[in-house]
Structure 1
């Protein structure tokens, strides 16, 4: 279950940001964008996140996931469409198979809410993919 490694990476990044901030005593929520093509099961991620937070400054924090639909653009005709699941990667307009995936693979922390202060935007760096 790679959701556990993702949850551990999120917790680690938020802990590092909390340490750098210096005055954080608790994290209340973490907002995460999850692309529909990222191969992540949101319910499994939420379960793993709760386990990964135990004993950390994130204990009891809420994980809020925002689904990002997959979008593609046809290279020859520039038509854009939602790829859906299972993904439709050939152009529905002209049938070409040369497409650029524009969105849907995101897996990034969008924001973190500290208990002792206002919401702080986290770095918009993607979480390293498991290889």
Structure 2
């Protein structure tokens, strides 16, 4: 289950971001996960609960924003959903696409933390 190593990295990076901002405990972390990233959101949620234990994120919630896989057809200027399993064939002109526009994302987009009292 590689989601555990991903969740551990999210916990570490979110903790670093909170410390750099002078904040205390983290209340939530938002991540964008692309449809083709190879990450199962439910498994990531479970792994995050394990990885956050005993850290500044112990009570934090994980918010996963799913990003659909989209391709671009340069032949007819059409953006289209790839689906699962991915099908890189333009539904409009019936030609293969060579450009993936979205779907491989795996990034932290937000960290909410509790300010440290003065």
TM superposition score normalised by structure 1 = 0.83
Residues 71 and 97 in structure 2, CA contact (< 8 A), matched pair in contact too: no
Which residue is equivalent to 1:18?
18
Alignment of 1:1-131 (within 5 A): 1-22=1-22, 24-116=23-115
Please state whether the residue corresponding to 1:102 is helix, strand or coil.
strand
Root mean square deviation, CA, Å? 1.3
Shift, 1:99, TM fit: 2.4
Please state whether the residue corresponding to 1:25 is helix, strand or coil.
strand
| Separation of aligned partners in 1, 2:54 and 2:10 | 15
More strand by share: 2
Q: Unaligned 5+ residue runs, structure 1?
A: 118-131
Shift, 1:101, TM fit: 0.5
TM superposition score normalised by structure 2 = 0.91
